[in-house]
Structure 1
Amino acid sequence: MKKHLFLALILLVNYAAYAQTSRDIKGIVRDSTGTSVIAATVKYIVGFDTVFTRTDIDGGFTFKGVKSSTFLLTVSSLGYQTLNKRFLYKDAETSLALDPIILRQQNRMLNEVVISGTPGVTIKEDTIVYRAADYPLRENALAEDLL
């Protein structure tokens, strides 16, 4: 009886220790020139579960306490193309260090912007002149409605 109780206790302790094993995923995000991408959004997606983090000043990120499985990593940042990549995380590994993730720049050119107009208010020495056309009024309104 003592042997069975001892064996059950050993299995229970071993199972609890295995369940508490922390699994981490670490990686670095860089651009095509090798510069760290700061504050990039990194998503860890397994099924319907999603966890977000941001890269630090060195471009590094860490996901702690993740499950072993196939997961999708999505990395995005302003001015860069979004990267989606699948990984397999095996039970035997307690920590997964990813190769550097390289983001390519996204080139978007803005068209020429022309700003034109006339000022609604003009200051002449000691007088302020307002352009009446800038203030819509009802039809047949009086001059004092404008004031």
Structure 2
Amino acid sequence: MPFEQLKLKNQLCHRLYMASNSIARAYREPLNELNLTYPQYVVMMALWEQDEITIAELIDKTAIDGGAMTQILKKMSDKSLLAVIKDEHDKRKRLVQLTQHGQSLKLKAADIPKNILCKFDSVDATQAKQLMQLLDLVVNDLAD
């Protein structure tokens, strides 16, 4: 029995794994210049999109695990990028709010997505959009 189903060349998941690692490496240099990890960058993008949101909303927007988010927010707070404050209207809720320093990184980060996409020499804009749609389907299918 040849066990074709067990060969790496036939594995979609392994290709996703390799792509994920390659993308993480591509982001390393530009994010080092901002003193951010990729998960921290994802949090920043969510907050640049909508500042002063609850931790629960931030977890929902970023799809980062709650335990990991707690650690990420602590490190980002230590870097003076954001503050976690109590909601004036509901003291049980905690809001995440960018600091001035966190807001200022937005301008420095503005070209990162374009520069990363430029590294995809073999993928045009239409294919990139299709890939995002396919990956959304995969994520939705595998969601708990």
Could you say which TM-score interval applies, normalised by the shorter chain?
A: under 0.3
Q: Normalising by the residue count of structure 1, what TM-score does the alignment of the two structures yield?
A: 0.23
Q: Normalising by the residue count of structure 2, what TM-score does the alignment of the two structures yield?
A: 0.23
Identify the structure with bigger relative contact order (alpha carbons < 8 Å, sequence gap 6+).
1
If you compute each CA radius of gyration, which structure gives the higher value, 1 or 2?
A: 1
Q: Which has the higher strand share?
A: 1
